[in-house]
Structure 1
Amino acid sequence: MGAADEQDLEDWEGWLTKAEVREIWPQIRPSSIRAVARANSVRTSGAPSPDLTREPTYHAADVRHVAARIARGEAEVAPWQRADSDSAREDATSGPPFRQPVSWAADNVPGLILLAIIVGLILWSLTAPDNHGTVTDFVR
């Protein structure tokens, strides 16, 4: 066992997912965890996260060390990155939810197909020979 391995064992051995870091850093907004970790030199692992989110895993000892620094007010944290700041409270009490505009997206295709069928049936019924004439006779 090398010195680096022994140091890892002493440093609360292990890596934490973003969800676990959120529990340890409740004062930090979830969207700011990566930036706060980077600003405070928290080691991250390049290995894929076990929760399949493609988020890095964070060194447990570093996270706990920064948690103590956050509590003392010594950590590198911008005011907008804090969950307990005025801007975070304003975001939580924002206006009504944003309504998505209607688009030609895949979820609208069945309705568009139904509309096309209905229009086609109407046009076909107007031009059918059993209507005793053509569309031009019907319009006159």
Structure 2
Amino acid sequence: MKSVNKVTLLGNVTRDPELKNTNNGQSVCTFGLATNRVWRDGTGDKQSLPEYHNLVSWGGLAEFCAENIKKGKPLYIEGYLKTRSWDSPEGTKIFRTEVVLENIVLLGPREDAAIRSVDEVPAADTAVAAELEEMPLEEVA
């Protein structure tokens, strides 16, 4: 049976991107995105519940994110879920689920354009994704 691991989100950036390099020189960028689930309760009142997502990008896309994305900006993303784990200094197993970015559309006002899409930048390859899985939180997050 086939399976699908695809994430599509539209929300606001919660923290400025942080660009780092892995030991082999690969660029990696992490930041957060907030989305809201909106519904009407039994009395008809509008309710809203925020959800916070950890995002990670690699290579050229990581550098693009670091240069062009700022806290508070609206963003459309496509990617896939990746859960990695590591042992804390205290010996506790820590898990973190992230959205690995494959495509980004910057939304909202800009000086030179209202919408800019980045889909030509290659996504992370398997070797880079494997390296992320083994990287402690303080090195990536």
Q: TM-score range by the shorter chain?
A: under 0.3
More helix by share: 1
TM-score (norm 1): 0.18
Q: Which has the higher contact order (CA 8 A, sep 6+)?
A: 2
Question: Where is the strand percentage greater, Structure 1 or Structure 2?
Answer: 2
- For normalisation by structure 2, the TM-score amounts to 0.18
Q: Which has the larger radius of gyration?
A: 1
